[in-house]
Structure 1
């Protein structure tokens, strides 16, 4: 196997036949930093949850998965966290859909009354449900850099009007499907980010991960209260700790974040496991 690339949480290898092997690590990223503290089993949880979602989204669009079998020569510890996938020409846009207002979208709304050029009603607050899901794309920044919001016109300029329309359509439909299924299990999907790429046949394909606690905001529906930050089953818990007085991190200085305390690591793992088990109905082992 030939190592090709290491991202924030995944490593990519080329196999002898030209396929790619994607391996999810237990690392976690926040505020454009990869933290020093891994979350045990996180890579396995993300991989298994993505595979579950890929099956349920197969009628929306194809995905990049070829096999879940561990290739010959791969370390045994990669089992359950690695997937053999198709090689794609990735779309140069981070495709994001939002059904609720929070995070960077809330900040942009506070400044302009819109998110990524999409005007929104007055009077929305942190956690407000939007009238309908919206497409809020961003740039694809390198590790350590920050993704910047894009308007739909900017997406059209980058990939063409027809492709931009298709990206919006797919992203919102993936969000809708995910949100509907999650709602049946007592989880609100506030927003989600997906990765899309072109197959050699010219087909748009769903790649990387989908509807995981890393790529989405998951809120317990019975505790949703607009007007405040929401409890979550995702890495927002880690973000919140990093900017708390307890962490003692001066984010504005540009210093790396501190290590996560053991109790924060364990509680983060528990949140990821709970999201997996509530969504899939399976016990994580």
Structure 2
């Protein structure tokens, strides 16, 4: 299996190295985004990669960009990585790279929740609301909401935690007109994706979108979209209200790390056993196959 922990390219200048992705400049108005196999848990980047994870994330995102292209423009250019790289470098990033438009990113995470779980569940237990949105009393963990809710968050730097914010705070950050557009588009994206996933036997409990503005000021969907890193996918046949269903993501890693005595959720993270790495890699592949209906070929 292909494994890439960090991408080094000589033909393009590095713009940014994030938790998982590296961005390289392609001229003045485009970027090459490469998804590595790095994995972060509790906002700590682990030393051990998850084989083929970056390939799964990239190909799943491309799948969703195609399905959702009529809802909002996205950052894809149609240019292939091999068109901007040497043959050797193109082989290095095969299946895990996209050439995209360079945008002005919005400084918020556009989170949509169809079910009450995770940080939303914690907020609801404490206040009866999520991001200022009052919810009915007596909801159980993992309950389906009457309608999807938009619950924005700050976009944290590496090593820091995103923080849930209310809609008014988002309006103060990016302006009310743009905030309302982001909210409307995000719910439309989630609704279309959820309807599709339901036909595949998958529940999308929640997800986060990222947006930027192009040169004309148009709202544009960017980064990853509806991957196992940015979403909670639950198998519909194992869903049950009142408990956290099994999910197609890095929960094996989270559970293991939380079981390690004395770890304070700061770097360096404990070393992962091989079986945890293997199970996590398998979960990412299963998510791809379940949602796309395609056999994972790498």
What TM-score do the two structures reach when normalised by structure 2?
A: 0.92
Q: Match for residue 53 of structure 1?
A: 64
1-structure distance, mates of 2:119, 2:143:
14
Asked whether the equivalents of residues 218 and 233 of structure 1 are also in contact (C-alpha less than 8 Å), the reply is yes
Q: Match for residue 112 of structure 2?
A: 97
Q: Match for residue 283 of structure 2?
A: 271
CA shift, 1:17, in A, is 5.6
Distance 1:154 1:17, change over 3 A: closer
Q: Match for residue 6 of structure 2?
A: none
Find the residue that maps to 2:153 and give its secondary structure: coil
After superposition, give the CA deviation of every residue in 1:148-189 in whole Å (9 maximum; x if it has no partner): 111000011111111110111111111111111111011110
**Structure 2 runs not aligned, ≥5 long:** 1-11
**Structure 1 runs not aligned, ≥5 long:** none
What TM-score do the two structures reach when normalised by structure 1?
A: 0.96
After superposition, give the CA deviation of every residue in 1:71-109 in whole Å (9 maximum; x if it has no partner): 222342101100000000001111100001111111111
Q: Match for residue 238 of structure 1?
A: 253
Q: Match for residue 259 of structure 1?
A: 271
Q: Match for residue 225 of structure 2?
A: 210
Q: Match for residue 167 of structure 1?
A: 182
Distance 1:139 1:284, change over 3 A: same
After superposition, give the CA deviation of every residue in 1:29-67 in whole Å (9 maximum; x if it has no partner): 111111112110000100001001001001101110112
1:37 matched to 2:52: no
Query: Relative to structure 2, which stretch is displaced further, 124-133 or 38-47?
Result: 124-133
Asked whether the equivalents of residues 44 and 267 of structure 2 are also in contact (C-alpha less than 8 Å), the reply is no
1:3 matched to 2:14: yes
Aligned-residue CA RMSD in angstroms? 1.3
After superposition, give the CA deviation of every residue in 1:11-42 in whole Å (9 maximum; x if it has no partner): 00002464210000001111111111211000
Find the residue that maps to 1:65 and give its secondary structure: coil
